Amino acid sequence: MVRFGIEFVPRDVYWRTVYYTIEAEKAGFNYVWITDHYNNRNVYVTLTLIANYTDRIKLGPGVTNPYVCSPVFTATAVASLAEIAPGRVVCGIGAGDKVTLTMIGLTWRKPLAHVRECVQAIRTLTAGEVLNLDGKAFKIKGARLSYKPPSEVPVYIGAQGPAMLRLAGEIGDGVLVNASHPKDLELAVSRIKEGVSRAGRSLEALDIGAYTSFSIAEDESKAVKAVIPVVAFIVGGSPDVVLERHGIDLEKANVIKDALTKAKFGKAFKNVTEDMVEAFSIAGTPKQCIDKIEEVLKTGVTQFVVGSPIGPNVLKAIKMIGEKIIPVF
């Protein structure tokens, strides 16, 4: 049985994100993932409010990283959340965005070591155990929380590159893959399986999430229009090998990349093509979205995450997914 997740970026005033999550819980979503970027509302403040106003939906950062915050701080934060919402807290960890980290004076290095050791630290500390870590990324001696949360905190790894996908398969409780197209997800799942095999684990123990760029509306053109800015940024950040996989014209992609670096957003958005929308998002009417989700699920994905922009009208989109999409699955 597929699980449904939803992602919110806490750009808006706090009550709006909380309200959207309340509606998502009513609509039947199983998970809510709150993104963690320094320029938005704090992820843990937002999650705490969500925990207080919801009853069932699982919640967590999706994803935080081990550079901005020490894994000890992250462990403390999710352990505290688990006291507020026992059995409902999950933690998404990724390597972070190199450009953003550089912007705030942090060095992006040894991402695999940082993620591996961060997962170890979170698991050890939230289990109430003493953490002694003499790693490649962290040196921690004798750390221990003064309390133990009432429930475990599953750790999901945000992964895109081959090595990180293998690591996620090796040590993660779940994986969050930033992709919307079956081609990308098939490749990602095959690499996750390599990690699972390397660790001698069972694939069934892993929750594999497709973290999609999603937009739904009764009018297909409105759904597509809403997703174009997100697709432009995905194209702008995609390596040539990914663009070529989908037959994207590299010249057109470079026009978008150049426009984004110069903050010429109108020009960037205007150059987004139909094949780019098809490759990097799921957008359309309820029927079109159902058909595309079915193809995604054939790849081995077990959690379908509805990501930004969700739809031209977020509240209507949440209700539409609850009424017309989730019941089908």
Q: How confident is the model at residue 1 (pLDDT cuts 50, 70, 90)?
A: confident
Is residue 38's pLDDT more than 90?
A: yes
Tokens in use for 8?
């919110």
Percentage of the chain beyond pLDDT 90 is 97
The per-residue pLDDT for range 250-271, each reduced to its tens digit, is 999 999 999 998 999 999 999 9
Residue-level pLDDT at 102: 86
In this prediction, residue 97 carries a pLDDT of 85
Residue among 314, 296, 313 nearest 305 (CA): 296
35 neighbors 59 (Cβ within 8 angstroms):
no
Q: What angle do CA 313, 302, 166 make, to 5 degrees?
A: 115
CATH of domain 3-219+282-328: 3.20.20.30
- Burial class of residue 82, CB neighbours in 10 A (0-12, 13-18, 19+): buried
pTM of the model: 0.96
Give the Cα separation of 176 and 207 in Å (integer).
Answer: 9
User: What does the pLDDT look like over 130-189, one tens digit per residue?
Assistant: 999 999 999 999 999 999 999 999 999 999 999 999 999 999 999 999 999 999 999 999
Find, among 325, 305, 306, 297, the residue nearest to 182 by Cα.
297
pLDDT of residue 291: 98
Q: What pLDDT, on the 0 to 100 scale, is given for residue 309?
A: 97
Residue 52: pLDDT over 80: yes
Supply the pLDDT for residue 162. 96
Q: What pLDDT is attached to residue 196?
A: 98
The residues facing 93 across adjacent strands are: 64, 157
309: preceding bond cis by omega (within 30 degrees): yes
- One-letter amino acid at 10 equals P
**What's the confidence (pLDDT) of residue 68?**
96
Distance from C-alpha of 314 to C-alpha of 289, rounded to nearest angstrom: 16
How buried is residue 147: exposed, middle or buried, by Cβ count under 10 Å (0-12/13-18/19+)?
A: exposed
Model pLDDT, residue 279: 97
Closest CA to 50 of 73, 83, 25, 74: 25
Average confidence (pLDDT) over 116-131: 98
Q: Could you give the CA distance from residue 249 to residue 242 in angstroms, rounded to a whole number?
A: 11
* Alpha carbon 284 to chain centroid, angstroms: 21
Domain segments of the chain as ranges: 3-219+282-328
Helix (H, G, I), strand (E, B) or coil at 61: strand
Phi and psi dihedrals of 319, rounded to 5? -65, -40
Taking residue 88's Cβ as centre, other Cβ atoms within 10 Å add up to 21
Residue in the structure block whose two tokens are 């901005």: 68
**Average pLDDT score over the chain:** 96
pLDDT digits (tens, 9 = 90+) for 199-218: 999 999 999 999 999 999 99
pLDDT of residue 234: 94
Cα 176–chain centre separation: 5
**CA angle (135, 153, 51) in 5-degree steps:** 130
Cβ contact 271:251 at 8 Å? no
Terminal alpha carbon distance of the chain? 7
Give me the long-range contacts of 262-266 (CB less than 8 A, separation at least 24).
265/229, 265/232
Phi, psi of 140 (to 5 degrees): -130, 130
Q: What mean pLDDT is predicted for residues 26-50? A: 97
Task: Check residue 99 and give its pLDDT.
Answer: 77
pLDDT tens readout for residues 290-327: 999 999 999 999 999 999 999 999 999 999 999 999 99
> Which residue did the predictor score with more confidence, 137 or 103?
137
E strand intervals along 220-311: 282-284, 303-310
